[in-house]
Amino acid sequence: MHTSTFDILRCPYCGSRLDLVTSSFNETSGDDIHTGILGCQCCVFPVIDGIPVMHLQPNATVARERVEQRKPVEARRAMFGLDEVPAIAERVDGLIASPDATYRQIVEAFGEHLEGGYFLYRFADPTFIVGHALVRAVAGTVLREGGRAVDICGGSGHLTRSLMHPTLSPGPPPVLADLYFAKVWLARRFTSPGCEPVCCDGNSPMPFARGAFRYATCSDAFMYIWTKRQFVLDMLRLIDDRSKGARPGAAMISHTHNQCTWTPSHGQPLTPGGYRNLFENEQPHVFGESGLFADVVRGGPLDLSRVDSEKTLEAEQALAIISSRHPGVFAPHSLEPPPTRPAGEFVVNPLYVAEPSQSPDVTRYRLRFPTEDYEQEYGACREYLPPEVSIARADLQALAAGRVPAGAADMVRRRVVVDIPLRYGV
Ligand SMILES: [Zn+2]
């Protein structure tokens, strides 16, 4: 972690500032703390592989003891949840040491110790494309003149990447906060290099100062938070804009499930009114995800001036909730044009399988879902992914070289071709 992070970091329990405990074992270089112990007025927290661990769950306590014993590798193993499975720990450590290792290889080495899910397909799934469009529209509006973003419960940083490429803000890089150390670790190395990862518990007060951010977001996770009321009030605290001269920020919860309907991986969702109630004096706007999805599939604009009726909202599987006093947020937003240069690399969407070739110049692909469960949850991607597609070999070569030839522009727009992080392993 960079020492400037001390300006925004606070103890989640006593709220005081933190400092490096210089009498304990530490590894620093310049303004970066790689390993060490941070102290506040009430307790101590470890920094492991440059990531502050701001909670007191059992693995964090073990990891802190390992740091104090001058064992940083063992501390990382404890945070990875691998200290009692040495064979896997060694395999993961070996991959980490290799500069050629991919995100996919490391996730697969973790096996059941890290929920891999459908990460390969994440950058083109229907939930993601709505989340991405919302982030670009809302964060793009409130961060235009500076300020910082935080992606809370952001997992391995897929949407944190949307906050970074192309740059939304002249301010410092976004913070990615999640309870799962392995996920934020993977995000910093692969998915969102340059983000500032912090390991913390969404069911506890957030370890950041009031007003530290101008944009706070939580996507595809809020229905799993038990302390929802505390979480929302804390989100509002993080973007508090009452200090003199501050510009209005935004808090956004996207893809949270709806108590009125059933969905796979349901969690403990609230009703639309129940979500609104969490914001107390603020008047958040609640949107049904299907209307936003239709806007994105249509090519925009993403219309945040819409007012969905209660009846519409009650029928929705997932909702987005935005609280902001910025006049530019609740308006129609043009979608950004598809990228002409990749932030990482262009690849054919892994939902497509190449067919045996009939022509040396063209490759034919067929859309194929990995499982029936995937199809049930994400089958709406058929609205933008054609069942079959042919791509000229020359176009594939240009894409691999980081260019979008005229014949492939529509492939990128439809997400037949996706821009994924380098060494992602697709
Ligand atoms: Zn404290």
How much distance in Å is there from the Cα of 104 to the middle of ligand 1?
37
Residue 279 CB contacts under 8 Å (≥ 6 apart), including other chains: 232, 236, 321, 323
Residue 357 pLDDT greater than 80, yes or no = no
pLDDT band for position 286 (cuts 50, 70, 90): very high
Helix (H), strand (E) at residue 103 = helix 103-110
Residue 417 pLDDT greater than 70, yes or no = yes
Query: Comparing 131-135, 356-360, 373-377, which segment has the lowest mean pLDDT?
Result: 356-360
How much distance in Å is there from the Cα of 174 to the middle of ligand 1?
24
How much distance in Å is there from the Cα of 54 to the middle of ligand 1?
10
267 by Cβ neighbours in 10 Å (0-12 / 13-18 / 19+) ranks as middle
Residue 100 pLDDT greater than 80, yes or no = yes
How much distance in Å is there from the Cα of 60 to the middle of ligand 1?
15
How much distance in Å is there from the Cα of 37 to the middle of ligand 1?
13
CA dihedral 151, 153, 157, 160 (to 10 degrees): -10
> How much is the average pLDDT of 127-155?
96
Query: Comparing 108-122, 309-323, 410-424, which segment has the lowest mean pLDDT?
Result: 108-122
**Which one, of 231, 164, 167, 227, lies nearest residue 191 by Cα?**
164
Pairwise pLDDT comparison (171 vs 369), residue with the higher score: 369
How much distance in Å is there from the Cα of 62 to the middle of ligand 1?
18
How much distance in Å is there from the Cα of 375 to the middle of ligand 1?
46
pLDDT tens column, 184-208: 999 999 999 999 999 999 999 999 9
Per-residue pLDDT, 113: 82
Residue 263 pLDDT greater than 90, yes or no = no
As given in the structure block, the two tokens for residue 194 are: 């340059």
Q: What percent of the chain has pLDDT over 70?
A: 100
Residue 205 to residues 13, 54, 210, Cα–Cα distance (Å): 7, 10, 12
Residue 273 pLDDT greater than 80, yes or no = yes
Q: What is the mean pLDDT of the chain?
A: 95
How much distance in Å is there from the Cα of 207 to the middle of ligand 1?
10
Question: Following DSSP, what letter does each residue of 41-83 receive, concatenated?
Answer: SS-EEEEETTEEB----HHHHHHHHHHHTT-HHHHHHHHHT-T
pLDDT band for position 112 (cuts 50, 70, 90): confident
How much distance in Å is there from the Cα of 219 to the middle of ligand 1?
28
Residue 40 pLDDT greater than 90, yes or no = yes
Per-residue pLDDT, 267: 94
How much distance in Å is there from the Cα of 292 to the middle of ligand 1?
41
How much distance in Å is there from the Cα of 153 to the middle of ligand 1?
21
How much distance in Å is there from the Cα of 11 to the middle of ligand 1?
5
How much distance in Å is there from the Cα of 132 to the middle of ligand 1?
35
Q: CA 132, CA 159: separation in Å to the nearest integer?
A: 6
**CA geometry: angle at 188 spanning 21 and 1, to 5°?**
20
Residue 252 pLDDT greater than 70, yes or no = yes
Alpha carbon 33 to chain centroid, angstroms: 24
As given in the structure block, the two tokens for residue 87 are: 């064979």
How much distance in Å is there from the Cα of 78 to the middle of ligand 1?
22
Q: Cis link prior to 166 (omega < 30° from 0)?
A: yes
Per-residue pLDDT, 114: 83
> How much is the average pLDDT of 331-353?
96
pLDDT tens column, 304-314: 999 999 999 99
How much distance in Å is there from the Cα of 10 to the middle of ligand 1?
8
Residue 165 pLDDT greater than 70, yes or no = yes
pLDDT band for position 244 (cuts 50, 70, 90): low
Largest Cα–Cα distance in the chain?
70
